[in-house]
Chains A and B, each alone.
Chain A
Amino acid sequence: MALLQISEPGLSAAPHQHRLAVGIDLGTTNSLVATVRNGISVVLNDDEGIALLPSVVRYLADGSLQVGMAAQAVQSEDPQNTIVSVKRFMGRGLKDVGDVVDLPYRFVDTPGMLQLRTAGGVKSPVEVSAEILKVLRDRAERSLGGELVGAVITVPAYFDDAQRQATKDAAKLAGLNVLRLLNEPTAAAIAYGLDNASEGVYAVYDLGGGTFDISILRLSKGVFEVLATNGDSALGGDDFDQRIYCWILEQAGLSQLGVNDVRLLLTHARTAKEQLTDNLQAQITAVLSGGELVDVTLTRDTFYDMTKNLLARTMQPTRKALRDAGLGVDEVQGVVMVGGSTRMPQVQRAVAEYFKQTPLTNLDPDKVVALGAAIQANVLAGNRSADDWLLLDVIPLSLGIETMGGLTEKIIPRNSTIPTARAQEFTTYKDGQTAMSIHVMQGERELVSDCRSLAQFELRGIPPMVAGAARIRVTFQVDADGLLSVSAREMISGHESSIAVKPSYGLSDEEITQMLKDSAQHAKDDMQARALREQQVEARQLLEAVEAALQEDGDLLDADGKAAIRASMEGVRFLLEGEDQTPIKRAVEALNQATLPFAQARMDKSVSGALKGHKMSDLES
């Protein structure tokens, strides 16, 4: 008899029914929403026909709020209640955001993610982002005439676990079903690749308002395979504005400006930057609050000169990504430009020079991410069979756990294709140890103190055994959103402990970048520091083992033998805290040597003890 199979409620849709799904680019400066209509990906405009929604939210005392242009217009009048660039606070603690003193907000240092005190109450960055997403959701539902099935939300490829989780939480808070978190450069590649039916290796150079991502992808027969990704998450168009701003101060002989004048000149700097895209020079004229007139002319050449090293800072991650992908410049078929900052002619020129080809700019760099996200959303919603294309993305930073001595054991290396899982076995450090702390890290450096802590949990109930006998298998699972979950299992008792990693705080952008840079620069220091720590751990373990043995079987030794071992132990203790590995190593060897006869005696004792009470026949069987 055939069994009838019944679907779960709400699982299936009639095949002909088009499911409404959108792609959302939740940007630092602006956000957009796009959808696939009649097979074509289009950005959805607001009632005034404007696509870009400024990522600005203002909270008012009566509990109401303003989002977008209206909030942006009053940001200098009501700076404390008007939140701009909230993206940089996502998944961040107060101590992760270095430049808070310069920001006009009233921060609340809550455990985990920071919060902001506004006229409308205390708000978390997740809530603020959710307000932006709600406006885009409403826009989409009104425009499409129905409720959304789900959304693909884009994140910088360099976002860590905490930032991704916060983004997903914001979407949920906005009432959106998250079909997928998609990396921004990958979204752009989809928009380009499917448009042009491209084949070969492509680089996506994504310079936005506050972040830089570079991704290397291989496109072949409808497969988008990300080979490597890198970036500098503290580099964007804002830094170019800042350079012009400093130049204005220098030219006009200004210093010690008030907050309003700083904002005024920064706005002028940004306008000048944009003018220099099409003009050879830009006139900057402003009247400061004290009545002083600023009137200077900035030429393109001067602007290029002052931003040369900013460009150099994008080329280093670019070279690194190519190396990680195992490819040379001449193997790159095309370079896709993403992000408003790639409009600057010197950016295009630098990219063209490095890759020896003209970069592709035929899609609007402000919109291409949202367009790609919409294409992915359409497939994930089940509107179109995805049989003809497949997306294989990677995690940007290595994941690992802390082992003895403050070292990181990498479990999943950066640029691993997701979803992925790795298991690694660890053992106990002390006799009778029944609990183990699992500390999850993200970063490229070897020392825990140089990586970023993602989460910590305890595995309890390990059966008491001698040190090194327990086998604890720690499994990292990274899903297709790039989100991590960790489980640990004691293999002998089967005791399991599992968590979805909801990190208390994430990596700061600066830290990610710094960590990667340091990883290369200090590789040698790391190796030495690691060797020292390993030696110290080994020494401490040996001291504990010998001490335990003396307590247990001290009677096997005569007074001289005991004294010799004690002296040797003192030698190790004396050298233990030193900065040099070699003397510790020698002292450890000496102690090992000194305890050799003792160990032999103990072994004899335990073997004879084990034999006692057994018949020969037992041993033979």
Chain B
Amino acid sequence: MWRKLYSVMSAPAVDLQQDFFTVFSLPRSFLLDNAALDHRYRELQSQVHPDKFSHLSDAEKRLSMQWATRVNEGYQTLRDPLKRGRYLLTLHGVDTQEENNTAMPMDFLMQQMEWREGLQDAIAAKDIDALDALADKARNETRNLQQQLAEQLDTTHEFVAAAGTVRKLRFLEKLAEEIADAYDELDS
């Protein structure tokens, strides 16, 4: 009986080492067609997911898991604007220095402090409306920064400035996590 081995190797027309934009056949830019990303993600998983290989050899199962893992990682990276921005900068050879560069503009830091105080007050007062208002503000600011990042990455190619915007977005991501925790706390 003859049979083609490692069919997964030839099934998807992409390679494990390629960057995520290439894997998903999308232009390498910050502005992204989300519908195309979702579509391509499902298309890829339909080909590589371990459920399609569970009756095949261990070698194929292993390859399938590596592929599905890679596709999940790529999807999560490209779907999230902060991760996508960070990833684009990495591709451009720019380190976002999120761990060690803490030099932020004063006005931004002041605003962050103000919002964090607002968060603590809302928790203390168990004030869901205040929490909602804060979450709204944080969302708006996040959107503004994402627009700025799109400009810096896709149009003006100011990568160092873009790294600064990524650092700001990381602050806002942490704030959003704390707001989510606060909702849980007020809920319990």
Q: Which residues of A contact B (CB under 8 A)?
A: 4-8, 11-12, 19, 149-150, 179-180, 221, 223, 316, 319-320, 323, 376, 379-382, 386-387, 390-392, 416-422, 477, 479-480, 517, 519-521, 523-524
A323-B183, A390-B49 are known contacts. Are A12 and B1 too (CB-CB below 8 A)? Answer: yes
- List 7 extra interface pairs beyond A6-B2, A382-B54, A521-B184, CB under 8 A: A5-B3, A7-B2, A12-B3, A221-B42, A420-B69, A479-B50, A480-B50
| Interfacial chain A residues near B46, Cβ < 8 Å | 387, 390
CB nearest neighbor in A for B39: A221
CB of B73 within 8 Å of the partner chain: yes
CB of B45 within 8 Å of the partner chain: yes
CB of B57 within 8 Å of the partner chain: yes
Q: Which residues of B contact A (CB under 8 A)?
A: 1-5, 42, 45-46, 49-52, 54-57, 59, 65, 68-69, 72-73, 75-76, 123, 178, 180-185, 187-188
CB nearest neighbor in B for A522: B185
Contact check, A316 vs B54: say whether CB atoms are below 8 A apart.
Answer: no
Contact check, B50 vs A11: say whether CB atoms are below 8 A apart.
Answer: no
| Interfacial chain A residues near B123, Cβ < 8 Å | 524
Contact check, B55 vs A19: say whether CB atoms are below 8 A apart.
Answer: yes
| Interfacial chain A residues near B2, Cβ < 8 Å | 4-7
Contact check, A379 vs B185: say whether CB atoms are below 8 A apart.
Answer: no
Q: What are 9 A-to-B residue pairs whose CB atoms are below 8 Å?
A: A5-B5, A6-B3, A7-B3, A11-B56, A221-B42, A316-B188, A320-B187, A416-B76, A524-B123
| Interfacial chain B residues near A376, Cβ < 8 Å | 51
A7-B3, A520-B184 are known contacts. Are A390 and B51 too (CB-CB below 8 A)? Answer: yes
Contact check, A386 vs B52: say whether CB atoms are below 8 A apart.
Answer: yes
| Interfacial chain A residues near B52, Cβ < 8 Å | 386
| Interfacial chain B residues near A477, Cβ < 8 Å | 65, 69
Contact check, B51 vs A379: say whether CB atoms are below 8 A apart.
Answer: yes
| Interfacial chain B residues near A221, Cβ < 8 Å | 42
A7-B2, A520-B185 are known contacts. Are A419 and B45 too (CB-CB below 8 A)? Answer: no
| Interfacial chain B residues near A316, Cβ < 8 Å | 187-188
Among A376, A390, A519, A521, find the residue whose CB has the most chain B CB atoms closer than 10 A.
Answer: A390
**A381–B56 Cα gap in the complex (Å)?**
9
CB nearest neighbor in A for B67: A419
Contact check, A523 vs B69: say whether CB atoms are below 8 A apart.
Answer: no
CB nearest neighbor in B for A152: B54
B25 to chain A, nearest CB (A): 19
| Interfacial chain B residues near A390, Cβ < 8 Å | 42, 45-46, 49, 51
Contact check, B69 vs A386: say whether CB atoms are below 8 A apart.
Answer: no
| Interfacial chain B residues near A386, Cβ < 8 Å | 51-52
**A419–B59 Cα gap in the complex (Å)?**
16
B165 to chain A, nearest CB (A): 23
**A386–B69 Cα gap in the complex (Å)?**
19
**A521–B123 Cα gap in the complex (Å)?**
11
Contact check, A380 vs B55: say whether CB atoms are below 8 A apart.
Answer: yes
B39 to chain A, nearest CB (A): 9
B37 to chain A, nearest CB (A): 14
Contact check, B73 vs A420: say whether CB atoms are below 8 A apart.
Answer: yes
| Interfacial chain B residues near A391, Cβ < 8 Å | 49, 51
Contact check, A381 vs B187: say whether CB atoms are below 8 A apart.
Answer: no
CB nearest neighbor in A for B38: A220
Among candidates B5, B49, B181, B187, residue contacting A7 with C-beta atoms closer than 8 Å: B5
Contact check, B54 vs A380: say whether CB atoms are below 8 A apart.
Answer: yes
**A380–B46 Cα gap in the complex (Å)?**
13
Contact check, A5 vs B4: say whether CB atoms are below 8 A apart.
Answer: yes
**A149–B42 Cα gap in the complex (Å)?**
28
A246 to chain B, nearest CB (A): 25
A4-B2, A417-B76 are known contacts. Are A392 and B184 too (CB-CB below 8 A)? Answer: no
**A473–B24 Cα gap in the complex (Å)?**
26
Contact check, B181 vs A523: say whether CB atoms are below 8 A apart.
Answer: yes
B117 to chain A, nearest CB (A): 14
| Interfacial chain A residues near B182, Cβ < 8 Å | 523
Contact check, B69 vs A180: say whether CB atoms are below 8 A apart.
Answer: no
Contact check, A179 vs B54: say whether CB atoms are below 8 A apart.
Answer: yes
**A421–B76 Cα gap in the complex (Å)?**
12
CB nearest neighbor in B for A221: B42
| Interfacial chain B residues near A149, Cβ < 8 Å | 55
Contact check, A223 vs B57: say whether CB atoms are below 8 A apart.
Answer: no
**A390–B65 Cα gap in the complex (Å)?**
15
**A417–B80 Cα gap in the complex (Å)?**
14
B129 to chain A, nearest CB (A): 16
